A and B are shown apart, each in its own frame.
Chain A
Amino acid sequence: MQITVTVNGESHTRDVEPRLLLVHFLRNDLGLTGTHWGCDTSNCGVCTVTLDGVPVKSCTVLAVMADGKQVGTVEGMERADGLDPVQQGFVQCHGLQCGFCTPGMMLTARCLLDKNPDPSEQEIREAISGQICRCTGYENIVRSVRWAAEHEAAAKAEVTS
């Protein structure tokens, strides 16, 4: 069936089988391989994307369910003036090693900061608790998100002062 999905602000119309999963639609049909695909059982969270602004595991969403909706992937995180502060935080604080979990982690972090600009360590750990990282031990991921929170707060203060 024909679906139209807006991904990172750009509308895509494709003919798909109803059984196609959103993760494969993004990776294979649209060539957006920044969204990773791991466990296939909604446990690891590497396939996390946003659906109408909310993080979801795209291995457990059908592409047809995203018809008419907004999807956000890691490819859409960068802003006109450079990397998203969350991306910068991962660079600055060594928030990744192999990078397999990173796109999902950064999207969840972005959604967390949009809701809660000053999250505690506990709140960050809770927000990413549905995503597995086999490399970092999470410590540097938490630091990266805190880095982004602090830099965003500082940038905001500069604008208003």
Chain B
Amino acid sequence: MQVPAAFEYAKATSVTQTLDLLAQWGEDARVIAGGHSLIPMMKLRLARPTALIDINDVDELSYIKVEGGELRIGALTRHAELLESALVEEHYRIFRDAERVIADPIVRNRGTVGGSLCQADPAEDLSAAFAAVGASVVIQGARGSRTVPLTEFHVGPYETVVEAGELLTEVRVPIRPGGGSAYVKVERRVGDWAVAAAGAALWTSSEGTVSNVGIGLAAVGAEHFRAAEAEVYLVGKPATEESFAEAGRIAAQHSNPVADQRGPVDYKRHLAGELTVRALRAAAARARGQEA
């Protein structure tokens, strides 16, 4: 039987109360959202917080809305809610693609957007999807709030810029009409973490050249979950198979996967390239309105 080590527990009902409790309990306290990463880690003693602050009843963190030209997603939004949101689907199809292949429907009922990003597992799908669409996150602490672009959010595996005493409250995605986005993942079996995955968001000019593009990669050791060099290469190039193939080659070259039970390095690097091409192809087709 796997049982976590003992800890103190309190249920918070507001952001202010959560921040107060975090300050009061000190740096070994943690918030618990869905608990679907934290509880397994605590069972294995990979995490050993002395106190948990339960944010599942902080209703003010649970929403999806459009404001200030951005899609704004509360940290406590469940995977299932992101998957089913018509508002999200209207602006960015990448999220339905990604959510369909994150864990399984029951885990998705519980796991949250904020928990996924803060867990910062190198294979976290939402990190790659949000990287592709140029998202930023709002982090709140006792001294106020700051907004951090996702490209500066992850410090390393399982490490983010969220400090002890701080709370991630919102994810913001700029809405830029006229583009297309998509996510593709290779997994060993349904519900498993990615062997590798890629997401792309792409906008083209009237001449058919790429005017703006974001490429996110999960599970292949891409810095900040992003294929930055491939993005730079693509801007200004025609949105064609040839350009996408070259972008895939660049993405593979700059990825840095590690061998594990999900596959060897060469295979994962191959997937980084191939999935980049497939994500770009699907995003471009959607931008042209040619694909369901």
Determine whether B245 belongs to the interface, using a CB cutoff of 8 Å to chain A: no
Q: Are B106 and A126 in contact (CB under 8 A)?
A: no
Question: CA separation between A54 and B3, bound complex, in Å?
Answer: 24
Q: Looking across the interface, which residue of chain B has its beta carbon closest to that of A65?
A: B54
Query: Which of A19, A21, A24, A57 meets B106, CB within 8 Å?
Result: A57
Q: Are B3 and A126 in contact (CB under 8 A)?
A: no
Question: CA separation between A34 and B93, bound complex, in Å?
Answer: 40
Q: Mark interface residues in A117-156 (1 if CB within 8 Å of B CB, else 0).
A: 0000000001101110000000000000000000000000
Question: CA separation between A131 and B36, bound complex, in Å?
Answer: 16
Q: Which residues of A contact B1 (CB under 8 A)?
A: 24, 40
Q: Which residues of A contact B43 (CB under 8 A)?
A: 40
Query: Which of B7, B40, B103, B106 meets A41, CB within 8 Å?
Result: B40
Determine whether A84 belongs to the interface, using a CB cutoff of 8 Å to chain B: no
Q: Are A127 and B105 in contact (CB under 8 A)?
A: yes
Total chain B interface residues with beta-carbon distance under 8 A = 29
Total chain A interface residues with beta-carbon distance under 8 A = 28
Determine whether B190 belongs to the interface, using a CB cutoff of 8 Å to chain A: yes
Q: Mark interface residues in A22-66 (1 if CB within 8 Å of B CB, else 0).
A: 001000000000000000111101001000001111001110110
Determine whether B238 belongs to the interface, using a CB cutoff of 8 Å to chain A: no
Q: Are B5 and A19 in contact (CB under 8 A)?
A: yes
Question: How far apart are A68's CB and chain B's nearest CB, in angstroms?
Answer: 8
Determine whether A78 belongs to the interface, using a CB cutoff of 8 Å to chain B: no
Q: Which residues of A contact B174 (CB under 8 A)?
A: none
Q: Are B2 and A60 in contact (CB under 8 A)?
A: no
Question: CA separation between A59 and B135, bound complex, in Å?
Answer: 33
Q: Looking across the interface, which residue of chain A has its beta carbon closest to that of B9?
A: A18
Give the interface centre of B7, B54, B106 by most chain A CB atoms within 10 Å. Answer: B106
Determine whether A102 belongs to the interface, using a CB cutoff of 8 Å to chain B: no
Determine whether A75 belongs to the interface, using a CB cutoff of 8 Å to chain B: no
Given A40-B43, A62-B39, also A18-B105 (CB < 8 A): no
Q: Mark interface residues in B1-28 (1 if CB within 8 Å of A CB, else 0).
A: 1111111110100000000000000000
Give the interface centre of A1, A19, A55 by most chain B CB atoms within 10 Å. Answer: A19
Question: CA separation between A76 and B43, bound complex, in Å?
Answer: 29
Question: CA separation between A67 and B52, bound complex, in Å?
Answer: 15
Query: Which of A40, A56, A65, A130 meets B103, CB within 8 Å?
Result: A130
Q: Are B35 and A130 in contact (CB under 8 A)?
A: no
Question: How far apart are A131's CB and chain B's nearest CB, in angstroms?
Answer: 7
Question: CA separation between A65 and B57, bound complex, in Å?
Answer: 10
Q: Which residues of B contact A48 (CB under 8 A)?
A: 106
Given A65-B35, A130-B103, also A60-B6 (CB < 8 A): no
Given A18-B52, A60-B35, A62-B39, also A1-B9 (CB < 8 A): yes
Q: Which residues of B45-97 have CB atoms within 8 Å of chain A's CB atoms?
A: 52, 54, 56
Q: Which residues of A contact B56 (CB under 8 A)?
A: 65
Q: Mark interface residues in B198-212 (1 if CB within 8 Å of A CB, else 0).
A: 000000000000000
Q: Which residues of B contact A130 (CB under 8 A)?
A: 103-107, 191
Question: How far apart are A112's CB and chain B's nearest CB, in angstroms?
Answer: 9
Q: Which residues of B contact A131 (CB under 8 A)?
A: 104, 106
**Can you name 6 A-B pairs with beta carbons within 8 Å?**
A19-B5, A45-B104, A55-B106, A57-B110, A65-B35, A67-B11
Residues of B within 8 A of A (CB): 1-9, 11, 32, 35-36, 39-40, 42-43, 52, 54, 56, 103-107, 109-110, 190-191
Query: Which 6 A-B pairs have CB atoms at the shortest separation, nearest pair first?
Result: A130-B104, A18-B9, A130-B106, A19-B4, A54-B109, A40-B2
